[in-house]
Structure 1
Amino acid sequence: MEPWHVDESLACFVLAEGAVAVEVPASWGAEVSTCLRSAGPLGPILAIPGPRLRWLFLARPDPEPGTRHVPPPDVRYWHGPRRIPAAESRWVVPPAGALPPVGAVRCAIRTVRRFW
């Protein structure tokens, strides 16, 4: 069983204990996914509508806590257990295969943000 699921009755995305999701604005989500794909497994991505469309990258947690990472202002990290509001969400990349480590997602975000 996956460490997450979409609960349509509550209009939310549910992360289980130990699961990690990284939320970015959709306006640069495609670039982050391209950068991540070139580095290894892409993993599932969920599009969440709202005042601003957001992409949620699912990842596996880092094996050991590293140095504290301060994300860019538009990025949010979600650690399970947690419910994330996600009414009418859709899969950009459906779940299948391995998850990237959250460190790889962070690296892809830094690479994309460097060019903005």
Structure 2
Amino acid sequence: MEPRYVDDCLVLDEDVMAVEVPASWGAEVSHQLRSTGPLGPILAIPGPRLRWLFLAQPDAEPEPRYVLPPDARYWRGPRRVPARASRWVVPPAGALPPVGAVRCAIRTVRRFP
């Protein structure tokens, strides 16, 4: 999957998801994710609060009942994600991690503040 931009938006294809978190969590989430497997692309999106967007592949099974913390959100493809003036923290290369691995990394980071 090679991400593409249209009109200052990142375009997510049907088989791609993204999980957005505050940048203050980003390094810890990426560290946790890297320890469990592949680290996929991460996009930093400026705004009133800097946000990190972790690209991932959807789970094959129905989504579990895990609810993201209030400051995080899912973006499911196909969709456009506003990403004006963004930059790659980790550039796209290779396979995407499963979204379940991203959720697990967030859960670990938020459990141990």
Match of 1:87 in 2: 84
TM-score (normalizing by structure 2): 0.95
Letter of the 1:73 partner, please give it. Answer: P
2:103 pairs with one of 99, 102, 106: 106
Q: Partners in 2 of 1:114 and 1:69 — Cα distance?
A: 14
* Alpha-carbon displacement from aligned partner over 1:18-68 (angstroms, at most 9, x marks no partner): 210000000110000001001000010000000000000001110110422
Question: Contact conserved, 1:4 with 1:19, CA < 8 A, in 2?
Answer: no
Structure 2 residues not aligned, in runs of 5+: none
Q: Partners in 2 of 1:88 and 1:104 — Cα distance?
A: 27
1:18 aligns with 2:31: no
1:5 aligns with 2:7: no
* Alpha-carbon displacement from aligned partner over 1:79-109 (angstroms, at most 9, x marks no partner): 0111111110000000001211000000000
Letter of the 1:106 partner, please give it. Answer: R
* Alpha-carbon displacement from aligned partner over 1:1-23 (angstroms, at most 9, x marks no partner): x263122xx11111111210000
Identical-residue share of aligned pairs (%): 75
Paired positions, count? 113
What is the alpha-carbon root mean square deviation over aligned residues?
1.1
Structure 1 residues not aligned, in runs of 5+: none
